[in-house]
């Protein structure tokens, strides 16, 4: 009569189980790593888009200021800076603030 084959009597079966377990652990590790990398990639793309938008806005502002310097008078430039940066208005001018947030 034959004896049943067990992991103790067959070292190849024991190695096979360890190999399968090792491959499974490696696969789980790779899936988790790929997920983390995908999240990081999405965050970096968002940062890149924000930087591109900021660059575009800055370039637009530079072009506008350069156009004003080349084509406008100095008094126009001074008035615009006083209005935008310092919040100055003429004495007979009424200023309304939009509180709706739109």
4: left (phi over 0), alpha (psi -120 to 50) or beta: beta
Rounded CA-CA distance 80/89 in Å is 10
Q: What SS3 class is residue 1?
A: coil
Residue-wise pLDDT for 46-86, tens only, equals: 999 999 999 999 999 898 888 877 776 777 777 878 888 88
pTM of full prediction above 0.95:
no
Residue-wise pLDDT for 12-51, tens only, equals: 677 788 899 999 999 999 999 999 999 999 999 999 999 9
* Residue at token pair 């008035």: 79
The size of the chain, in residues, is 102
Cα separations in angstroms, 17 against 12, 30, 83, 99: 9, 20, 76, 68
């Amino acid at each position: 009569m034959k004896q049943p084959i067990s992991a103790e009597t067959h070292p190849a079966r024991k190695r096979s189980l360890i190999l399968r377990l090792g491959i499974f652990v490696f696969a789980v590790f790779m899936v988790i790593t790929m997920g983390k990398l995908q999240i990081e990639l999405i965050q970096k793309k968002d940062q890149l888009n924000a930087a591109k938008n900021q660059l575009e806005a800055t370039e637009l502002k530079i072009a506008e200021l350069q156009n004003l310097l080349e084509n406008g008078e100095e008094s126009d430039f001074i008035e615009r800076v006083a209005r935008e940066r310092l919040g100055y208005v003429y004495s007979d001018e009424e200023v309304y603030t939009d509180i709706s947030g739109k």
